[in-house]
Structure 1
Amino acid sequence: MKASISLMVINEHRLRVRCINPEDFAIRGLGEDLLRFIHGSLTLQSSLFYSVLTATIATTPLQNAPTVIAVPGTPNRNFPNPKAERVLFNAGLSRATCLYFPLAKEDRVHFACRLLTDMSFDDGAAYNEKLIPIARDGVQPDRNVPAEFIRLLSSLMRFAMDLRRTPAELALMEPLERNCSKQISVVNDIYSWSKELRQSEKSHEEGSFLCSAVKVFSVSTSVDIDATVRILRHMIREREHIYDEIVSKVEAEGFSEAVKRYTKGLEYQMSGNELY
């Protein structure tokens, strides 16, 4: 199904795209510095989703009128009601994917954006119970179940950027990947704290139990929440310094162009997550 698209350049740094389609769309513009999916607002009208998305050039102004491509997302899902459907779209998960991987290839990133699904609380609980022992190195993953052994973010980034690395290069990047994961995890806990706290006060259902670096650090150190958040903000900045130190050491030893692009991709992954 074709999308109806209109493009209006607002000024040298911004453009607005309106697309009409009952499916999810990834709005793409030319230019490596383009942050795809900066904002999206969705309403339900005449059984079609009208999506107005704004893309912003990160550092350089628009040189020419950009080419904008609409990429169909996942097929329509069987939502129980329009509100449930809007909840998924308003979460902006496709936008988050594009912010995570701004160096992604134009013909690949939409596949990453389609990895959106839903899961019942019971299935989610069973899924977590299966993965936690694996994360603790207590159980070996089942190689026939991709979710048990694939490192989602790093694998998605390699695919989206079309990067191929040798086994030695994969091992070389492990310290960077671990540091990146720790930075992203703490950033997520800081920004989601207020929402998680409100949810925990409403119910004790799955997802309302507080399991956050903010809570753990506060309890462990007897420091109040506001002070804990300030300390954790310093910690994530330190993680970024550690990233720079590791990259400098790897550069001194010499590495391939693919590894160079991958290290830059991890940097953007951290900043993209915080921006989202």
Structure 2
Amino acid sequence: MACQQTQATMSTSRKLIWPKVILFGDSITQGSFQVHGWGSAIADKLARKCDVVNRGLSGYNSRWGRIILPRMLNQEDAGTIAAVTVFFGANDCALKDENPQQHVPLDEYSNNLKIISSYLHAVGVTPGKVIFITPPAIHEAAWEKSCKQKGFSLNRLNSVAGQYAQACVQVADQCGSDVLDLWTLMTNGGQDFTGYLSDGLHLSEKGNQFVTQHLWELLEKRVSHLPFILPYWGDVDALIPENSLCVNNEEQNEKT
């Protein structure tokens, strides 16, 4: 009988829906779930409130990103999305002569970001839920060393990355979205930003902490209203746990 009652309860309980924060970008996003990564830090902050989904693709640029985005997210997903970060540019800004595979011209980069924003809006993810992130600053000496170890010449310049960062800022403003201007934050006042990078391009542990700090300032207002999913263990009815565990999030909020 007890087993039958449990099955009945399970059959009538509504599935819990976790809101989602989608992290969309290149290797700096893909690597963000590593130990001390900015993505894992954001996920930790949102535990029991929101799923943080890593959709970073190492080596990808905005051209490839706009093409594959519809295969990752559609209108059916939009209702559960609390925020999306769009973090491209570190590969787009590669020098055409040295790295034609990844290079995307500046004008096209801007247009690709606009297309990404338009697509998200079309499927129900409003511009207010989107946070653009500019490419980071580049430490050319360290990146050149990394390139040479792989048999390449220096294929990125910090000044060029700055141009792409500026374009990203302009697109975000035109689209009505927030932007984390990582390049400017790293170079502000001529400060030494080398400690934020592990190889001249990708983030170090300190750099990941830096991104977490500034991204959370923008992200928190988009997720602060989200409830804690399922009650604290000390609040569960020990005699009839179904009374606590089989209510919807909305009903749980009303009780608390």
TM range (shorter): under 0.3
Q: How does the TM-score come out when normalised to structure 1?
A: 0.25
Greater strand percent: which structure?
A: 1
Larger radius of gyration: 2
Larger relative contact order (Cα-Cα within 8 Å, sequence gap ≥ 6): 2
TM-score (norm 2): 0.26
